[in-house]
Chains A and B, each alone.
Chain A
Amino acid sequence: MNPRDEILERLKRNASNVEMPGAWQSQRDFPDLAERFTASLTAVRGEVRRTETLETALIEVGTILDEISAQTVIANNEAPLAEARLDDRWPHRELYLVGKTPGDLREFCARADAGLSGVEAALAETGSLVVHSGVGKSRLATLLPPVHIALVPVSCLEPDIFTWTASRNKEMPMPSNLNLISGPSKSADIEFTLTLGVHGPKRLVVVLYD
C-alpha cells in the first residue's frame, strides 16, 4: 500500500463521528473601531496617521515619503492607489507601479525605500491588515522595502478575526497568498529584547481615512 492509503486507512479504522461545534461568535463590541485599531497597532509599534479624505490621505503619504527621504517607491496597482495618478504627484521620485512599470519587480522591491499598498480589510481588535495577492498586487512590495505604507479606509474595518471569517465570501477562491499584517517585523530572540525590522519592514505606517 502507498503511504497515503496506509495512513488514511489506519485513521479510518479508528474514526468515529462526533458533531463539530458551530462557529465561535465574536465577543467584541467596540464603540469605535478606528480607535481600537489605532490603539492595537500602536501598541506593537505600528504607526497610524488619521486623515479626513482620500485626497488628504494621499498628501499624507507624500509627507511620509519626504520624512524618510524615499527616492525609490513601489506601489501596488490596486484601489485606491491605481486611480491616484502617483506619477503626477511625485515626479521627483523613482516610482514602480506593479503591472504597469516595465522592469524586474523583484529587483526593484529589493532596493525600494518604501512600499505602498491598499488593503482588503482591517481588524480593529488586533490592529491587523488583510493583504491579498492578485492582479497588480505584489507580495514583495509589502515585504522587502524597509517601510510599508498602507492606505486604509475606515469603512473596511472589521471588529475582529471572527467577524472577518464570517463575512468571507465562500464562493470566491482564496488568493494564492493572503497575509494578516499586525505590525512591523520584530524579534525578541536575543535575550527577549525587542528589535524591529528583522526580515520584513522596520516600519508599518497606516494612513486611515474616512
Chain B
Amino acid sequence: MTATFSEFRRRAKSAIEDLRLQGALDDGTGKLWEQRRLTFEELPNSDAMRDHFKLIRSATLRNLAEHLETFERNATAAGAKVHWARDGADACEIVLGIAQDHGVKLVTKSKSMVTEEIHLNEALADVGVQAIETDLGEYIVQLAKETPSHIIAPAIHKTRHQAAELLSRESGRSLSPDDLTTLTGEARKLLRERFLTAGMGVSGGNMLVAETGSVVLVTNEGNARMVTSVPPIHVAMVGIEKVVPTWDAAAIWLSLLARSASGQPLSIYTSVISGPARAEDPDGTGEVHIVLLDNGRSELAGTKYEEVLQCIRCGACLNVCPVYREAGGHSYDSPYPGPIGAVVTPLLLGRESHEALPHASSLCGACKDVCPVRIDLPRMLLELRADQVEEKTVPWSERKVEETGAFVLKHEKLMRFMTKAARLAQRPLARNGRLRLPRRLNPALERQLPALAKRSFREMWKSGELEEKR
C-alpha cells in the first residue's frame, strides 16, 4: 500500500474522469451528509455533547495504559483471552495460531478496519484458511477482488449492475440488478450457509469497555451478531485506542457514532460481548479471544499527533471532504481514506510511502466541523507537511521554490519588484485574464490559473481610484 505523489495524482485523475464513479460519490456522500445533519438537528445539546465526548477521549488517551490494564483484567475475569500484538505480523501470527490449534478451515468475518490494515485475509489464505467477509458491501468488494473505498460504505464505488453480476457468478443464478430484494436474499442465503459451517468468527471492535471487559460491535445487517454467536470461536481484533473507561462514557460514544456515520440515532444492532458463553447460556461461542493491536499507535502517545487516536472511525469527515468526494477512496490506497486517512495513514503505515496524503486536502476545515470528537485534522495535516520540509523529504526543487517565495514575501520592496517582473513575464502566456501554462507545469489541463491583474491593489489604493468606486 503506497500513495506517492505520482500515484495519488494518477489514481485521483482516473477517478475524476470516471463519470459513473463521480455520480456514485456525489450521491452516496451527499445522502450520508444530509442524514447526519438531520439527526444532529433532532439531538438536544449536541454541540455540548461533542465537547464532553472530546474531554472523555482525550483524558482516556492520556492514560491509555491504565484503562487497557483494567480492560484486560475484566475481560480475563469474564473468561476471554486477551492477546497483545506489537504489529501486523504479531497479530496475524496470533490469529493463525488460534485457527490452526482448532483446525479451522473457514472463517466468517464481520467488517473490520484493523484486519484490512494488517492484511489478515491474505495471511489466512497463505496457510489455506478461507476468510469470507459478511458485511454485504464488503462481500461484494471481496467478490470483485477489490478493497473497500469508504469506512462505512465499503462498496460505495460499485453499481447494482456490478453487484448483480458478482452475486450471479457466485450463486450460479442469473440475478436482476433491478430486484434488490432477490439480490440481497441470495447474499443472505450464500452467507447464512457460511456462518453455520465456519469454524471461527473474526470481528473488529468499535469499542472496548474497560469496567466490564466488553467488546462492543455495531452493525445494521446483523453480521457481527452472527460472527460472534454462531461459530464456536470468536476472535475480535481491536486497536488499543478504542478503549473507554465506563458504560456512562460508552453511551455517549454510541450516541455519536451512528449519528455521525449514517445519521441513525443508533445502529440497528449494538452487540456487547463479555467473554464466552457461560454454563447457563443455551448457545453462544465457546472461546473469545481479543487481540489488542498497537501497530504504531503507542508511538503517537504524547506527541502532537496523539489527537488522531481519538477517532472513532465514523467516516463523517469523508462525506464532507471536497478531495475525497472527487478522488474517491481508492486514491488513498489505505483502509483509512479521506481526511482522517490523510493523517492516520502516513502515521501508522509509513510517511514516505504515503507522502502525498497530507497534501490531499484543501484545508477547508469541513472535517473538523463535522467530527464527533472535533479532531483538529487541518492542524495535523499542516504538521505532517512541516515535518516533510524539516525531514527534507520534499523534492529539492519544491523546497527551493517555497523558500524563495517565503523570502520574497518577507521583503516588501522585493515583492513589489517581483510582481512587476512577473507581470511582464506572463505576457506571452496570458489570454483573457487566464494563464495558459505549458502542460509540463499544469498536468490537470482543465485548471487555469488567473493572470496577474494589470494594476495591483496597492497601486489602485495609492491612486485613489478605489475611493471613487465606493
Residues of A within 8 A of B (CB): 2-4, 6-8, 10-24, 27-28, 40, 44, 98-99, 105-106, 109-110, 125-128, 133-140, 143, 161-162, 164-166, 168, 170, 173-193, 195, 197-201
Contacts and interface: CB of A to CB of B under 8 A. Distances in A.
Interface stretch (B269-277, B321-329, B337-345, B445-453): B269-277
Given A139-B225, A187-B136, A190-B180, A179 B269 contact: yes
A95 to B, nearest CB: 15
A181 to B, nearest CB: 6
B112 interface: no
A16 B62 contact: yes
Query: Nearest 4 A-B pairs (CB), nearest first?
Result: A200-B222, A14-B302, A189-B137, A23-B248
- Secondary structure of the A contact surface, majority rule: loop
Contacts of B302: 13-15
B307 interface: no
B143 interface: no
A178 B78 CA distance: 14
B294 A3 contact: yes
A195 B266 contact: no
Contact of B65 (A15, A18, A138): A15
Contacts of A10: 298-299, 301
Contact of B268 (A19, A133, A185): A185
A176 B284 contact: yes
A191 to B, nearest CB: 5
Nearest to A43: B265
Given A110-B196, A176-B273, A179-B225, A3 B250 contact: no
B245 interface: yes
B229 A140 contact: yes
Contacts of A183: 268
- Of the listed residues B79, B85, B226, B272, the one surrounded by the most CB atoms of chain A closer than 10 A to its CB is B272
B52 A24 contact: yes
B252 interface: yes
Interface in B167-220: 180-181, 183-185, 187-188, 191-192, 195-196, 211-212, 214, 220
A123 to B, nearest CB: 8
B58 interface: yes
